Amino acid sequence: QLTMSLNSSTLLNEGNAQGAKRNTECLESLLQSPSPIQDNPLQQLQLASQEVLEKAKRSGRSKCPRCNSSRMFYCYSCFVPVETVPTKEIPTVKLPLKIDIIKHPNETDGKSTAVHAKLLAPDDVTIYKYPCIPEYEEKRHEIALIFPGPNSVSVKDIAFHLQKYTKKSVCPSDDDCSREPLLKQAKIEREAEKNPNECISSSRSEGTRLKKIIFIDSTWNQTNKIITDERLQGLLQIELKTRKTCFWRHQKGKPDTYLSTIEAIYYFLVDYHQEILKESYKGQYDNLLFFFSFMYTLIKDAKCCAGKE
């Protein structure tokens, strides 16, 4: 979605000369007026005005102010808006914790939504290109990794499980602690496991032990190379509630519950806000989908004009 060109050869499937002409005329009409969103599943988001993107769409590709590359809306290499999209007109989102995004080296920059997070939450998001990633071992009691797996836990159980990680960091082995404290510790943990929600709800500070969350930005077929890296071993793994993706580059053969990176970040934060911070969600992180929702509508409308839907 990052290198999207607004001509018919990129967005539309040209069948014959007549069809190509129809597609081009339809897309040109889309560029002149805002796109209809009556069937847009993202329409309930509380977003900042996207008029700046509408203007940039009509103007076409523009230069990146840093590398001078021709881009649409923003530069996915420099993580900045292009010249036709003033930074002051782009919303900024403040996140409750820091986010590291580990990008697979073979992941095409122009197809990744990870840059959306950096553009919209620049103070809280860092993007690393694998294998150049930080060492997390010493702070694993305050870091979690978003990844579905046999040992993954739900967002609401983060505080309880991080508490156990903290205990393990204090008493990492039998040699470091007497047997009696370990037995008592095990008994306490078993009692807490009966109702982990009590552990979480007892204090808001329980949940705020989590200071950083890690996301992997790659196709699902490429994920194994990163998730098996020794630097990520031992981290608490979190799974998200089942939600359907709206991503237009859906991976062939994968279920529609496989989310794009920016969707995963957004839905995690919504769950974290409600389950851990115990606060009513009122759209605080909706602007993380500022670019995503606009592009979704643009591409969906273009496909409709092409007769694909």
Structure confidence by residue, pLDDT tens digits, 53-86: 999 999 999 999 999 999 999 999 999 999 999 9
Within a domain: residue 12?
no
C-alpha 83/C-alpha 63 separation (Å) is 6
Within a domain: residue 253?
yes
With bands split at pLDDT 50, 70 and 90, how would you rate the model's confidence at 232? very high
Q: Are the CB atoms for 167 and 182 separated by under 8 Å? A: no
The residue to which tokens 């992997």 are assigned: 216
User: What tokens appear for 160 in the block?
Assistant: 């309880």
- Chain segment 261-281, per-residue pLDDT in tens: 999 999 999 999 999 999 999
C-alpha 302/C-alpha 309 separation (Å) is 10
- Distance of alpha carbon 135 from the chain centroid: 21
**Range 229-246 average pLDDT:** 89
Q: Are the CB atoms for 151 and 235 separated by under 8 Å? A: no
Quick one: CA dihedral 241, 247, 251, 255, positive or negative? Answer: positive
Within a domain: residue 182?
no
- Chain segment 89-127, per-residue pLDDT in tens: 999 999 999 999 999 998 888 888 999 999 999 999 999
Domain count, the chain: 1
Q: Pick from 80, 39, 126: which is nearest to 291 by CA?
A: 80
The range of the structural domain enclosing residue 235 comes to 66-164+209-306
Within a domain: residue 6?
no
Within a domain: residue 83?
yes
Cα 125-227-113 angle, rounded to 5 deg: 40
pTM: 0.74
Within a domain: residue 177?
no
User: What tokens appear for 214 in the block?
Assistant: 């890690």
Within a domain: residue 298?
yes
The residue to which tokens 């237009």 are assigned: 248
Within a domain: residue 20?
no
- Give the H or E element holding residue 88: none
